[in-house]
Structure 1
Amino acid sequence: MGRPRNTTFNYKLKRNRSGYFEVKWTDEGRTKTASSGSKDREAAELFLAQFVERQRIAPPEQPIVSLILSGYYEEKMFEGRSSIEDIKRNCTNISRHMGKIFPHQISQNTIKDYAKKRGAEGVGNASIRQDLATLRAALHWAEREKWIIAPKFKMPVAAPEARQEWATREEVSALIREAEQTPHLSLFITLAISAGQRKGAVCDLTWDRVDFDRNRIDFGKDVGNKKRSFIPMSKGLRETLEYYKRLATTDHVIEYHGKPVKDVKKAFKRCADRAGLPHITPHVLRHSAATWIVMEGIDKAKGARYLGMSEDVFENIYGKHAPDYLDSVADALDVTKINHASHEKPYLKLTKNRKSP
Structure 2
Amino acid sequence: MAHPELVGFHMIPLLEFFGAPKKCSFVDGTSCRQYVKDRAAGKIGKRAVKEATAGRELETLSSALNFAFKEKKLIIPVPVTLPPKAIARERWLTRSEAAALVAGALGITATAYDIETRKPIKWGRMFRPSYHVARFILIGLYSGSRHEAILKLHWLLNTRGGWFDLSHNILYRRGQGERETNKRRPPVPIPENLLPHVRRWRRITSVGPVEYHGRLIAKERKGFARARELAGLGEDVTPHVLKHTCITWMMQRGVPIWEVAGFSGTSENIIRKVYGHHHPDHLSAASKRFRGR
> Same fold per TM (> 0.5)?
yes
User: Paired residue for 1:271?
Assistant: 227
The structure with the largest helix share of the pair is: 1
Q: Which residue of 2 aligns with 1:116?
A: 37
Structure number, greater radius of gyration: 1
CA–CA distance in structure 2, aligned partners of residues 239 and 293 of structure 1: 20
The amino acid across from 1:321 in the alignment is H
Alignment correspondent of 1:261:
217
Q: Output the CA distance in 2 between the equivalents of 1:198 and 1:295.
A: 20
Match in the other structure for 2:135: 187
Q: Decide which moves more: 87-96 or 198-207.
A: 87-96
Q: Does the alignment pair 1:177 with 2:177?
A: no
Confirm or deny: 8 A CA contact 2:36 2:83 kept in the other structure.
yes
Q: 1:234 to 1:162 in 2, by over 3 A?
A: closer
Q: Distance in 2 between matches of 1:301 and 1:156?
A: 31
Aligned to 1:350: none
Closer/same/farther in 2, CA of residues 157 and 182 from structure 1, 3 Å limit: same
**TM, length-normalised to structure 2:** 0.74
Distance 2:18 2:193 in 1: 50
Unaligned segments of structure 1, at least 5 residues: 1-75, 339-357
Query: Taking structure 1 as reference, are residues 156 and 241 closer, same or farther at Cα in structure 2, changes over 3 Å only?
Result: same
1:203 aligns with 2:151: yes
Q: Distance in 2 between matches of 1:106 and 1:160?
A: 26
Could you tell me how far 1:176 is from its partner in structure 2?
Answer: 1.0
User: Is 2:50 the counterpart of 1:129?
Assistant: no
Q: Distance in 2 between matches of 1:113 and 1:270?
A: 38
Question: Percentage identity across aligned positions?
Answer: 27
**1:7-54 per-position Cα deviation (integer Å, ceiling 9, x unaligned):** xxxxxxxxxxxxxxxxxxxxxxxxxxxxxxxxxxxxxxxxxxxxxxxx
For the aligned residue pairs, the C-alpha RMSD in angstroms reads 2.9
In the TM superposition, residue 266 of structure 1 has moved relative to its aligned partner by 4.3
Aligned residue type for 1:203: L
Q: CA deviation at 1:161?
A: 1.7
SS of the residue aligned with 1:306? helix
Pairwise CA distance, 1:265 = 3.6
CA deviation vs aligned residue, 1:265-314 (integer Å, no higher than 9, x gap): 44323432332212211111111111111111112222211111222322
1:234-265 deviation digits (Å, cap 9, x = unpaired): 23322222232233343x44223333322214
* Deviation readout 1:78-118 (Å, 9 max, x if unpaired): x6x4x95x665444433443455577465124423311211
Residues 97 and 154 of structure 1, relative CA distance in 2, 3 Å threshold: closer
Change (3 A) 1:153 1:194: same
**Shift of residue 216 of structure 1?**
0.4
Alignment correspondent of 1:320: 277
Does the 8 A contact of 1:104 with 1:151 survive in 2? no
CA contact (8 A) 2:151 2:219 kept: yes
> Offset of 1:152 from its aligned partner?
3.3
Q: Which amino acid aligns with 2:257?
A: K
Distance 2:55 2:273 in 1: 23
SS at match of 2:274: helix
Tell whether 2:253 aligns with 1:296: yes
**Aligned positions of 1:84-233 closer than 5 A:** 84=5, 89-100=9-20, 104=24, 107-108=27-28, 109-121=30-42, 122-138=48-64, 148-149=73-74, 152-180=78-106, 181-208=129-156, 209-220=163-174, 221=178, 223-233=180-190
Whose RCO is larger (CA < 8 A, sep 6+)? 2
Q: Match for 2:233: what amino acid?
A: L
Q: Where in structure 1 do 4 or more consecutive aligned residues deviate above 6 Å?
A: 141-144
SS for the counterpart of 1:217 is strand
Q: Distance in 2 between matches of 1:246 and 1:141?
A: 48
1:239 and 2:239 aligned: no
One-letter amino acid of the structure 2 residue matched with residue 133 of structure 1:
E
**Cα distance in 2, alignment partners of residues 88 and 313 from structure 1:** 30
Aligned partner of residue 210 in structure 1, secondary structure:
strand
Equivalent residue of 1:192, what SS? helix
Q: Is the 8 A contact 1:129 1:155 kept in 2?
A: no
* AA of the residue aligned to 2:27: S
